[in-house]
Amino acid sequence: MSKREEHISQRTLRTPRSAALSGLIFALLMGASLIMIEISIPEDSTNPADWLENQSGTIKFALSLVPFAGIAFLWFMGVVRDRLGHLEDQFFSTLFFGSGLLYLAMTFGSTAVAGGILSVNAFNPGNLLDSGLYTFSQAMIYKFNQVYALRMAGMHMIVLGTIWTRTQVMPHWVALMTFGLALVLIFLVGFLPLLTLVFPVWVFIISAYVLFLNYRFRKDITYEDGLTLNN
């Protein structure tokens, strides 16, 4: 093998390993953001002015993590596509990209609305709650996240589970786990706030498994190369 071919081969092997870290980054950033927001905003608060005043710093920091989590999620989708390689199907790829991008767009949308609430409250605290803007924005954020975004995430998972079942690029248990968690997001989300963590946790598991497979593959290649050199 020439030096150029060896360089290309090594670069190809390194790409999934480095990019798969993005899935872990997405899971950690998005998970941290969701947990901080859930802790900071009481579900049964009778006076929103209390948490708007006392928890605004924490919520602003949580919201600032979302764009970076979104960037990492785009890299994660690239990792998944990389594993499919020539087995990629145009129909399922369209559903895969569409559902993933819709999830990301609606997550960004709800984050922007939440950031807008904090900005308006900082500029004119009294008018926010009296104008009805807070109630409208709160309902809009809920619809974006609980009704649409997370169901698109569930659709994203179902498509990937189907792809993995048909192509067998991932073990059968991974596909079954994906289908099960996807059904939780589609039918049960909204009943329990912590279910919003299902998608980041799933991405974390998939990314960690891809890293494990890549490490094992590189180890096998190194071992085979060592035998070849010794022979």
Q: What percent of the chain has pLDDT over 70?
A: 78
Q: Using CA atoms of 126, 127, 133, 137 in order, give the dihedral in degrees to the nearest 10.
A: -40
pLDDT grade for 1, boundaries at 50, 70 and 90:
very low
Helix (H, G, I), strand (E, B) or coil at 180: helix
Find the domain containing 210 and state its range.
Answer: 21-230
Round the average pLDDT of the chain to a whole number and report it.
Answer: 81
pLDDT grade for 123, boundaries at 50, 70 and 90:
confident
| Structure tokens belonging to residue 57 | 């710093």
- The yes-or-no verdict on residue 11 having pLDDT over 70 is no
For residue 77, is it within any domain? yes
- The yes-or-no verdict on residue 166 having pLDDT over 60 is yes
First vs last C-alpha separation in the chain? 17
Distances (CA, A) of 191 to 53, 97, 107, 195, 212: 28, 27, 19, 8, 34
List of residues 6+ apart from 8 with CB closer than 8 A: none
For residue 97, is it within any domain? yes
- The yes-or-no verdict on residue 8 having pLDDT over 50 is no
For residue 174, is it within any domain? yes
Helix (H, G, I), strand (E, B) or coil at 2: coil
For residue 10, is it within any domain? no
Q: Which residue has the higher pLDDT, 217 or 191?
A: 191
The pLDDT value recorded for residue 91 is: 87
Q: What are phi and psi of 44, to 5 degrees?
A: -110, 30
For residue 14, is it within any domain? no
- The yes-or-no verdict on residue 146 having pLDDT over 50 is yes
Task: Report the number of distinct structural domains present in the chain.
Answer: 1
Q: Which of 10, 77, 28 is nearest to 197 (CA)?
A: 28
pLDDT grade for 132, boundaries at 50, 70 and 90:
confident
Q: What percent of the chain has pLDDT over 90?
A: 39
Q: How far is CA 161 from the centre of its chain?
A: 16
For residue 16, is it within any domain? no
Distances (CA, A) of 187 to 138, 151, 191: 22, 8, 9
Residue 26 contacts residue 73 (beta carbons within 8 Å): yes
pLDDT tens for each residue of 36-76: 988 887 666 556 766 777 778 889 999 999 999 999 999 99
For residue 3, is it within any domain? no
The pLDDT value recorded for residue 4 is: 44
- Alpha-carbon span 160 to 201, nearest angstrom: 16
For residue 200, is it within any domain? yes
pLDDT grade for 192, boundaries at 50, 70 and 90:
confident
Q: What is the pTM of this model?
A: 0.81
Rounded mean pLDDT, 157-168 = 91
Q: Which of 152, 43, 155 is nearest to 107 (CA)?
A: 152
- The yes-or-no verdict on residue 159 having pLDDT over 50 is yes
